[in-house]
Amino acid sequence: MSPKKSPFFELRSGTVDTLLFVVKTTDLDAIRTELTRRFEATPEFFANDVVAIDVRRLAADERVPLADIASLLDSVRMRPVGVVADAAQQAWAVESGLPFLEARDRRGAATKVDIDEAAEAVAAAVAAGVTAESAATDPATPTQSVEPVRLATSAQTLVIEKPLRSGQRIYAKGDLVVLGLVSYGAEVIAEGNIHIYAPLRGRALAGVHGNHDARIFCTCLEPELVSIAGIYRTTENPLPDDVLGKPVQIRLDEEKLMIEPLRLT
């Protein structure tokens, strides 16, 4: 039998999305404190997500103990799988024992990917969610009875026409438009913008690959969590009356999450 047709395994080219943990300081204590603060409110949210440690924001003469950072990520149940580094940083980054990974920055841009091709390429769980086609059989949510939703797509936009129930996750390579209710326990995730023309009661994460220009728009804001480029807010912090249950847009100002009323008339 030809080894290319082995029934036991295959080696195929593909891509698996990961979160980037972007290191901006060499102060390990500060990283530990901030990591604990940001994840203690939602300890299960990033559990078992795959993450790459990105050190490209450090100055040329700065170094960090990558093994210690990997241990910190493990402590919040994230799974570090490699390091993203500039050529000049690789001499010391190799000491961590983590493999080097290439990363394509997507700030301000979305990638054109056919939905069926994306579902095949992301064979493992997407770090921040799963595609709609794979949601019905995703082993990460075995207790959920999840039906696939009908999709309509353009070059960079994914349109969801049905309400999303608890346990459903939708991942868009570009912008995401949702025409129905996003229920408690449901997640909508996009590398670009998110538009929700119905109540948002679950989780919405836009710009998940570091697109700080991404925005979230919805006609009724009642979320469990909203996030842009990894900066998030949960219901642990009550929303002001002028935006709770109202049409809003959510954007970043530097690294501050701004939630603003949206005037529709």
Q: Residue 243 is part of a domain; what is its CATH number?
A: 2.160.20.70
Using a pLDDT cut of 90, give the percent of the chain over it. 36
The whole domain housing 230 covers 130-261
pLDDT at 114: 32
Distance CA 32, CA 43 (A): 15
Residues 27 and 140 in one domain: no
Distance CA 205, CA 211 (A): 11
pLDDT at 76: 83
DSSP three-state, residue 138? coil
Residue 214 lies in a domain: yes
Residue 52 lies in a domain: yes
Q: Are strands 187-190 and 157-160 parallel, antiparallel or unpaired?
A: unpaired
Q: Are strands 203-206 and 194-200 parallel, antiparallel or unpaired?
A: unpaired
pLDDT at 125: 30
| CATH, residue 54 | 3.30.70.260
For the stretch 246-265, pLDDT in tens is 999 999 998 889 999 988 76
Average pLDDT, the chain: 76
Q: Are 20 and 210 in contact (CB under 8 A)?
A: yes
Residue 228 lies in a domain: yes
Residue 2 lies in a domain: no
For the stretch 39-91, pLDDT in tens is 765 555 566 778 889 999 999 899 999 999 999 998 888 889 999 999 889 88
Between 126 and 195, the more confident residue is 195
- Tokens representing residue 222 in the block: 């009642």
Residue 107 lies in a domain: no
For the stretch 26-51, pLDDT in tens is 999 999 888 887 776 555 556 677 88
For the stretch 199-243, pLDDT in tens is 999 999 999 888 899 999 999 999 989 999 888 888 777 888 899
Residues 136 and 246 in one domain: yes
Q: For the beta carbon of residue 36, count every other beta carbon within 10 angstroms.
A: 12
